[in-house]
Structures are given as structure tokens and as C-alpha cells.
Amino acid sequence: MSTVVLVLGACGQIGTELSLKLRSIYGSSNVIASDIKPGSDELMESGPFELIDATNGEQILGIIQKYKVNSVYLLAAMLSATAEKHPQKAWNLNMKSLSIVLDLAKEGRIKQIYWPSSIAVFGPTSPKTNTPQNTILEPTTVYGISKLSGEYWCNYYHSNFGVDVRSLRYPGIVSWKTEPGGGTTDYAVDIYIKAVKEGRYTSFLSGDTRLPMMYMDDAINATIQLMEADSKALQIRTSYNLSGFDCTPKEVANSIKKILPDFTIDYDPDFRQKIADSWPDSIDDQFARQQWNWKHRVDLGEMSKIMISNISKTVISL
């Protein structure tokens, strides 16, 4: 049976690049991108697209039947900073969409689910450095609470109903094709865009705020590698710790200065500082490395080169 994928939240930062990659693997017509609004030209022109509200179960079922979808990637979510401003809306979107998709799998309408969790499941009482997979999980953000609850719903549906749901605790994801929206780690994208366009950046996190980060291509590869792994190898059905590298705004700025020597940065922390301070500095992802051979490729220096060269091309072509 061929894989037919529905991506919910396909126009967001991760959804856009994930959909494009899935299309290159499974064939354009076998990857249905969907969101509440249309996305980038590249995404819209490369295969089927449907307008779907991820909290509307009937709409989702209709599209699953229309295209004979057997695998759903649920990327629709409200991220940490926006969720603090709209807690009920965030809870509704993040939890209802997951519960709909889990039930569809329980009813046998789809075979596989991917659902991302986040470093936001950790909180101020978790160990800060090399935070282990199994440790104190006391999130203090609405987003973190929704992700932690979601992880246990995934685990519950897997152990009680045999649902094949797989998940990764993403760190901050850095990319140049589509900007993130409403996250605390977004500075690590904004900083490159402003560096190229304006030569300066004001960071909403303090210079020494260390957070786990990953370049987009690594995040996409990890996702696909996890989804293609032999189910028997996967011992974790909440969500896997996943790590690339870790850095502070000051370190990102220094790596930009190696390429753009005139770049300057200053710091004006806002409400997102508190969110960042509650999250780990770095993550221990040994189970991902052991159980399905995860290996990250891109570090900070390499990422700066990729980000700056691609953003420069985009700016020139505008």
C-alpha cells in the first residue's frame, strides 16, 4: 500500500518544509498539504492543498476519505509565546486537534500519526543541562502543559488501542524559508533576517540565555527517520528527546559577525525571557541516537553560513 499523507498545519514553519520533503519522497500527489490559510507559492504549486481547520473532525475525515490518506502529520499548534496570551485558544487548538487525529487512528481510518512535542514539556525544576528523557516534568507555560498532556495521550492511545503515533520533543527550529510565529526560540530566526536586511538586531532574550536549537533540515530528517523506523525499535511512545546543538543569542551574534563583521546586537528582554528561563540549556537525546540512529549534522557555524547565504539570495530577488 502506498503512503498517502495529510499534513495539518502545512503552511507553518515546519509544515512547509516537511510537506515539500514528504512530496519528494512519496510523490507530490500523495502528500496533501492543509492549513486554515494558503501558504508559500512553492508549497501551493507543488501538490494538492486543502483548507482545513485542525479542530474540525468532520473536515479532516472528509479529506482523509477523499484522498485515501493513511498517515497524518499534525503540525497545527499555537506556540509558547502566543499561547501565554491566549491560553484557552491554545489549549483548544493544541489538544482538540490531537484528540481528533488519535480517535481517527483508533477507529482504523488512518495507520500512522506524527505529532510534535517540545522542550517546553520541561520546567524550572527539570535538570538544566543535558536534560534527560525521563526526569521531572513540571512545565510552567500553557504550551508546555498542552505538549506534556498530549504526550501522555499519545502514549495512552498506543498502549491501549495500538495506535502507531510517534513524536519528537523539538528544540528551537531555525530555518530561512518560512518564518516561525509566536515561539520563544523565534529570535534565532529573526536575528539572521535582521542581520542581512538591517545589519543590527535587538534580542528579546538576554545575551546569555542558552537554549537547545536545531537547523530545519536536521529536524525534517529526524521526523522522517522516526516515521520510517521499525515500530519494534521504538520504546518511547510519549515523545523522544531530540538535540542538535545549544547556543545563546550572544553566541549566535558572534557566529554572524564572522560572516558579517559589521553586525551589531543589543538586548531588550521581554515576557519571553521568563519562558526561556524555564526551559533546558541542553538536551540528552541518547534514546533517539540508540533506538533509531538519530544523528544531527548541522552545528551553529554551519547554520549561520546556510542562513545568511539563503536569506541574502531572497533579499536580492525581492
Q: Give the residue numbers marked as catalytic.
A: 143
CA distance 107 to 229: 23
Closest to ligand SER by CB, 30 vs 94, is 94
184 binds ligand SER (CB under 6 A): yes
Q: Which of 97, 118, 255, 304 binds ligand SER (CB under 6 A)?
A: 118
139 binds ligand SER (CB under 6 A): no
Q: Could you tell me the smallest distance in angstroms from the CB atom of residue 241 to ligand SER? A: 13
Edge-to-edge order in the sheet of strand 168-170:
117-118, 168-170, 240-241
Examine residue 203 and tell whether it contacts ligand SER (CB under 6 A): no
Pick from 133, 106, 108: nearest CA to 121: 133
Among 12, 139, 150, 172, binds ligand SER (CB under 6 A): 172
CB of 146 vs ligand SER, minimal distance in Å: 11
Closest listed residue to residue 249, CA positions, set 215, 220, 273? 273
Q: How far apart are CA 69 and CA 55, in angstroms?
A: 18
C-alpha 81/C-alpha 53 separation (Å) is 21
Q: Is 80 in the site for ligand SER (CB under 6 A)?
A: yes
Query: Is 53 buried (19+), middle (13-18) or exposed (0-12) by CB count in 10 A?
Result: middle
Contacts with ligand SER by CB under 6 A: the residue count is 11
Taking residues 24 to 63 in sequence order and writing x for each that binds ligand SER by CB under 6 A, - otherwise, the string is ----------------------------------------
Return the C-alpha cell found at 89. 485558544
Which residues would be at the binding site for ligand SER (CB under 6 A)? 79-80, 118-120, 143, 170, 172, 183-185
